[in-house]
Amino acid sequence: MKKSELNFLEPRRQAQAAIAIFIYKFVVRILRAAWPILLVFLFRSNKEQSNTELLMNATVVIGGLFSLGVSVVAYFRYFFHLEEDQLVIQKGVFNRSLTKLPFERIQNLYIEQNVLHRLLGVVSLRVDSAGSSGHEVTIDALEREDAEAMRAYVLEQKQEEAQERSMDPAAPEQSAPVAQSLVLRLSFEDLLRIGVTQNHLATAGVIVGTVFGFLFTVAGAFEQDLVKTLIERWPMLQPGFWGFLILATLLFVVAFFLTLIRTVTQHYDLQFFESREGFQLKAGLFNRREAFMQKRKIQLIRWTDNPLRRLLGLFRVSIHQAISGSERAAEQISIPGCKRAQVDDVVHSSFEGSAAADFRGHSISKAYFIWYIRFMLLPAVVFGALGYFLQEPRFVLPAIAFPVLGGLYLWLYQQRFRLWLSPEYLKTSEGVLGRTITLLPVYKVQSVRIRQSFFQRRRDLASVELYTAGGSVRVPFLPLDLARALQDYVLYRVESRREDWM
Amino acid sequence: MNTLFQNAQLSIEELPRVAEVDWQGLDKAYLRVDLIGLWLFRLGVLGVFLAYTFFVEGFPPVVRWSIAGLWGFLLLLTTVLRYLGFRIKGYAVRQHDLMYRRGLLFRSVTVVPFTRIQHSEVEQGVIERQFGLSSLSVFTAGGSQSDLVIPGLKREDAERIRNFLSQKVAADEEE
C-alpha cells in the first residue's frame, strides 16, 4: 500500500491502455456525429466520385487522421499526481491546462470499467466534486490496484481532514477494522424478476422516439421519403386497425426484451455491501461499476415500488449524496430488488434514530384536485369540439378519457400523499400506482422555497420545496400556516447547529 | 391541528418567522432594465419573423399580421405583469440566511441559510451596466435548482452583501 501511494506523488501518465481508450473514444465520437454520412457513402447507388466529392472526402479523411494523432499525443501529455491535500491534473495538446482539485471538494471516487477496460485489464477512476458541473475529472486508464489505492488514500485524507476540523471527541478511532457485510446479492433469477417488473411502457416510449429520430435523420441523408417506401413495400404497415395492433404488439415485445436485457446487463452480479463508514455497490456485466458512498454524506434516501413489484414485495432503493449537476441523478447508488427488511436496514443504518423517529402525518388539500383537473378539462374540450365539428365519433373517447382517468389519478394522488414530520426527519410518501417514499434528515436541507399561485393564495395554501445537495422534495398544497411553520422550523434546525452535512 | 410533529421540544410559535420579514425592494431603475431587456428581445424575435414572412413568397398576410398582433398583445400583457410584479420582488438579509421573493401570479419565497452557501458572485449585464446595477448570484451544492439570483441591486450594495456573505461563510469554516 505504502509503495503504491508513493507512486502518485510524482506527476505520472496513465496506464498505456489509455491510448487504446482514447482512440476508441475518438472513433465513437466520429461515428456518433457522422453515421448518416457514412451510411449514404456505403449504400449510394452512384459509385463514381466527382472531383469536389473527392476533395471533400480527402478533407474528411485527413481531418480524421489528424484528430487520431491528437488523441494519441493527448495520452503523452496527460499527467496526474497527488499532492498533500489535492489532486493535480495537467493535460491538453494545444492549450495546456492545470486542474487542482482539493480533497475537501472531492465528493466521491468511482471505479468504472466498460467492455474495453475489461479487455485491457484496466479501470477508469471518476472523481466527482459537488458544485459547479464541469469540475469533474476522469482518469481513463489505471491499474486496478492503483485506482483502489488512490481512492483509499484520498478518502482517508478526507476523513482525517474532517476530524481535524470538527474536533469531535466522540469520533471513532482510526484503526478500527473496515469490516464489510453483504447486504444484498442479486442472483440471475432475481434479475429476471426485476427485469420483468420494470416499467416497459417507458422503454416503449424511448423506442418510438429513437425510431422516429432515426427515420428522420436517414430520410434527410438519403433525400427520400423513407416512410413512404417502407409502406409501399410492406402493406401491413399501412395505417389502420390491424397495422396498429401488429405494430403495438411488436413494440411491446421488443420493449419487454430490451428492458429485460438492459436490467440483466446493468445489474449483473450486483453486490451491495455495508460497513460502518458507508455502502459499496458493485454491478454490471459489460460495464462494471463500483461505487462507494460514505454514510455521513448521504443527503436523502428514496425507495419505490410499482404494482407488480408490490406483489413480490420488492423495492428499488436509491441513495443520494451531493453530486455535481442534478442531471446526473441517475448515477446515484440505486439498488433494485430490495426486500422490506433490507430497505429498513439501509435507511436505519444511514440515518441514526430514524427508526425510532416519532412521525406525525399531514395530508395535502383537496384543492390540489380542483386546480389540476382544469388541465384535464382543456384537452377534453378540444377533443369534444373537434368531434362535434368534424362529426367524428372517434374523438368522443379521448374527450371522456382525459377528465375521467386524469381526475381519478389526481384524486388518488391527493388522497394518498402524506408528509411525515419528526423533529429530525422529514418523509414524504406519494404515488398512485406505485409508491415513492423519500426520507431526509432535516439538517441536510440547503434551501427552502414556498410557492403560491393566485389560486393557492385565495385559499391560504402553499407548496413547499426543500432542496438538499443530493435532490429535492416537493410538498404541494399544504395549508399556508403549516407550510410557513415547516419553513421556519427547517431554517431554525439548519441554522442553529453546525454539522458536517456534506 | 397545525403542530408540525408530536412531542415537539421547542415552541414552534417562538421561531423567527419568514412571513414577518421586512422586504427590501429592488432598485427602481431595475424596472427599466427589465422592460428594456424584454422589449429588445421580443421585438427582435418579431422582426426576424416579419422579415422571414416577407422573404417567403405567398405567405398569407392575414396569418402574418394576426401572429404579429398576438405577439404584440402578449408583449403588452407581459409588460403590465412585469410592471405590477416589480413591487413584489425583494430580498432580505437575516442573521443566518438570505431570502428572495418574486412573482405576481405565482409567488415564491426562497431562503438559503449562510451555512449552505458554496460561493457567491456579483454579475453585471450590458443593460444593467448602463444603470449602474448588478445581480448577486448565490450558489449551493449539487444541482442548480436551489441557487438564488437577486437582480437589480446597486453595484455597491451587491458588493457589500457579497462581502458579508463570504465573511459569514469563511467564519463558518473557521469554527
Residue spans per domain, chain A: 2-168, 192-267, 271-364+417-496, 367-414
* Residue B2: inside a domain: no
* pLDDT one-digit tens code per residue, B31-85: 999 999 999 999 999 999 999 888 888 888 888 899 999 999 999 999 999 999 9
* Residue B8: inside a domain: no
How far apart (Å, rounded) are the C-alpha atoms in residues A477 and A452?
9
Cβ of A487 within 8 Å of Cβ of B115? The answer is no
* Residue B12: inside a domain: no
Classify A292 as helix, strand or coil. Answer: strand
Which of A326, A451, A470 is opposite residue B106, by nearest beta carbon? A451
* Residue B33: inside a domain: yes
Cβ of A488 within 8 Å of Cβ of B116? The answer is no
Determine the distance in angstroms separating the CA of A135 from the nearest CA of chain B, rounded to an integer: 12
Classify B147 as helix, strand or coil. Answer: coil
Contact A191, A261 (CB under 8 A): no
* This prediction's pTM: 0.76
Task: Report how far apart, in Å, the C-alpha atoms of A329 and of each of A140, A284, A321 are.
Answer: 22, 18, 9
Residues of B in contact with A481 (CB under 8 A): 2
Residue A325 has pLDDT above 70, yes or no: no
How far apart (Å, rounded) are the C-alpha atoms in residues A483 and B12?
12
Contact A142, A124 (CB under 8 A): yes
How far apart (Å, rounded) are the C-alpha atoms in residues A161 and A227?
62
Clarify whether residues B99 and B80 are in a common domain. Answer: no
Q: What is the pLDDT of residue A398?
A: 82
Contact B99, B109 (CB under 8 A): yes
* Residue B95: inside a domain: yes
Which residues make Cβ contacts (< 8 Å) with residue A487, sequence separation at least 6?
A: A448, A450, A464, B18, B109, B111
Confidence label for A199 from pLDDT (cuts 50, 70 and 90): confident
* pLDDT one-digit tens code per residue, A16-32: 888 888 888 878 877 77
Clarify whether residues B52 and B94 are in a common domain. Answer: no
* pLDDT one-digit tens code per residue, A338-396: 999 999 989 998 998 888 888 999 999 999 999 999 988 888 898 888 888 888 777 88
Q: Mean pLDDT over residues A464-480, rounded?
A: 93
Q: What is the pLDDT of residue A416?
A: 95
Clarify whether residues B117 and B168 are in a common domain. Answer: yes
Residue A239 has pLDDT above 90, yes or no: no
Classify A197 as helix, strand or coil. Answer: coil
Contact B18, A491 (CB under 8 A): yes
Residues of A in contact with B5 (CB under 8 A): 358-360, 421-423
Residues of A in contact with B85 (CB under 8 A): none
Q: Which long-range contacts (CB under 8 A, 24 or more apart) does A461-468 make?
A: A461/A365, A461/A367, A466/A426, A466/A440, A466/A490, A467/B140, A467/B142, A467/B143, A467/B145, A467/B146, A468/A299, A468/A300, A468/A320, A468/A440, A468/A444, A468/B142
Clarify whether residues B34 and B110 are in a common domain. Answer: no
Per DSSP, helices labelled H in A285-327 are: 307-312
Tell me the CATH architecture of domain A271-364+417-496. Roll (2.30)
Nearest chain A residue (CA) to B11: A489
Q: What is the pLDDT of residue A496?
A: 84
Q: Is the dihedral of CA B67, B72, B76, B79 positive or negative?
A: positive
Classify B154 as helix, strand or coil. Answer: strand
Q: What is the pLDDT of residue A324?
A: 59
Residues comprising chain B, all counted: 175
Cross-strand pairs, A56: none
Residue A12 is given by DSSP the state B
Residue A15: exposed, middle, or buried by beta-carbon count in 10 A (0-12, 13-18, 19+)?
A: buried
Q: What is the pLDDT of residue B99?
A: 94
Helix (H) or strand (E) holding A430: strand A425-430
* Residue B14: inside a domain: no
Q: Which residue has the higher pLDDT, A173 or A310?
A: A310
Clarify whether residues B100 and B168 are in a common domain. Answer: yes
CATH of the domain at B150: 2.30.29.30
How far apart (Å, rounded) are the C-alpha atoms in residues A120 and A123?
9
Which of A322, A452, A482 is opposite residue B107, by nearest beta carbon? A452
Count of structural domains within chain B: 2
Contact A71, A26 (CB under 8 A): yes
Classify B118 as helix, strand or coil. Answer: coil
- Longest Cα–Cα distance in chain B: 75
Confidence label for A63 from pLDDT (cuts 50, 70 and 90): confident
C-alpha cell recorded at residue B124: 453585471
**Parallel/antiparallel/unpaired status of strands A447-453 and B106-113:** antiparallel
Residue A286 has pLDDT above 60, yes or no: yes
* Residue B11: inside a domain: no
> Of B115, B114, B131, B133, which is closest to residue B123 (Cα–Cα)?
B133
Our CA dihedral for A25, A29, A35, A41, rounded to 10 degrees, sits at -80
Task: Report how far apart, in Å, the C-alpha atoms of A64 and of each of A5, A23, A24, A28, B169 are.
Answer: 39, 11, 13, 12, 49
> Of B74, B72, B84, B73, which is closest to residue B34 (Cα–Cα)?
B84
Confidence label for A172 from pLDDT (cuts 50, 70 and 90): very low
Cβ of A446 within 8 Å of Cβ of B140? The answer is yes
Share of chain B above pLDDT 90, in %: 52
Residue A160 has pLDDT above 70, yes or no: yes
Q: What is the pLDDT of residue A165?
A: 62
Which strands, in side-by-side order, build the sheet including A447-453? A471-479, A461-468, A447-453, B106-113, B97-102, B90-93, B24-25
User: Residue with C-alpha cell 483502489?
Assistant: A148
Cross-strand pairs, B154: B133
* Residue B44: inside a domain: yes
ipTM of the complex, rounded to two decimals: 0.87
Clarify whether residues B76 and B102 are in a common domain. Answer: no
Clarify whether residues B98 and B170 are in a common domain. Answer: yes
Clarify whether residues B115 and B134 are in a common domain. Answer: yes
C-alpha cell recorded at residue A340: 422490506
> Of A296, A297, A292, which is closest to residue A280 (Cα–Cα)?
A292
Cβ of A482 within 8 Å of Cβ of B4? The answer is yes
Domain termination site, one of B85, B104, B129: B85
Task: Report how far apart, in Å, the C-alpha atoms of A479 and of each of A409, A448, A458, A482, B13 are.
Answer: 22, 16, 12, 5, 16
Domain termination site, one of B85, B108, B125: B85
Confidence label for A173 from pLDDT (cuts 50, 70 and 90): very low
Residue B106: exposed, middle, or buried by beta-carbon count in 10 A (0-12, 13-18, 19+)?
A: middle
Clarify whether residues B133 and B69 are in a common domain. Answer: no
Clarify whether residues B79 and B33 are in a common domain. Answer: yes
Classify A465 as helix, strand or coil. Answer: strand
Q: What is the pLDDT of residue B110?
A: 94
Determine the distance in angstroms separating the CA of A368 from the nearest CA of chain B, rounded to an integer: 15
* pLDDT one-digit tens code per residue, A37-56: 777 666 665 556 667 777 77
Q: Which long-range contacts (CB under 8 A, 24 or more apart) does B34-40 make?
A: B34/B82, B34/B86, B34/B151, B34/B152, B35/B79, B35/B82, B35/B83, B36/B127, B37/B125, B37/B127, B38/B75, B38/B78, B38/B79, B38/B82, B39/B75, B39/B79, B40/B127
Size of interface A-B (CB pairs under 8 A): 133
Which strands, in side-by-side order, build the sheet including A97-102? A79-82, A86-91, A97-102
Cross-strand pairs, A333: A319
Mean pLDDT taken over chain A: 82
Q: B38 is in which domain, residue-wise? A: 29-85
Clarify whether residues B139 and B159 are in a common domain. Answer: yes
Clarify whether residues B67 and B115 are in a common domain. Answer: no
Cβ of A450 within 8 Å of Cβ of B108? The answer is yes
The number of angstroms, rounded, from the C-alpha of A478 to the middle of its chain's C-alpha atoms is 29
Confidence label for A327 from pLDDT (cuts 50, 70 and 90): very low
Residue A234 has pLDDT above 70, yes or no: no
Which residues make Cβ contacts (< 8 Å) with residue B171, sequence separation at least 6?
A: none
Cβ of A322 within 8 Å of Cβ of B116? The answer is no
